[in-house]
Structure 1
Amino acid sequence: MNEHTSTQCLTLSELAQLRLAFERYGTGDGFWLAYTDILDAATNRLGCDRNIVNEEMRNAFRKWAREDPQFL
């Protein structure tokens, strides 16, 4: 996602951290540790639950894959 895409629960910084973790660790433990930390932080925000945050993360990955064929 970029500056022009809004999310309800995730911050731009969290999205950047998520992408960096995936690029650095793939689907290894480092990625899942970052994913869990971001998920926990975002679900503490008013109106945000795990389902909403997980959906935002999935949408971010779909968008990155569409924009950059080398991403996945």
Structure 2
Amino acid sequence: MKEVTSSMAGTVLNVMAKEGEPVAQGQDLLMLESMKMEIPIESPYAGTVKELKAGIGDFVNEGDVLVILEGE
């Protein structure tokens, strides 16, 4: 299993991935808002979304685990 972490502190604006869904490397998983900027969080790996650890409106810190991927 591989963890996708937040690159900065911010609020989750949108979640584009669903649990059980296959994702490609580089695919947007979530959108964060930080300092009035929208920052996409991309999947660094191809695989399947095993678990979403953050939802819309959640505040996350840099380094927090947002998504757990499995496979490939």
TM-score normalised to structure 1 length: 0.27
In proportion to residue count, which structure has more strand?
A: 2
In proportion to residue count, which structure has more helix?
A: 1
TM-score normalised to structure 2 length: 0.27
Q: Which structure would you say has the larger RCO, counting Cα contacts within 8 Å and 6 or more residues apart?
A: 2
Larger radius of gyration: 1
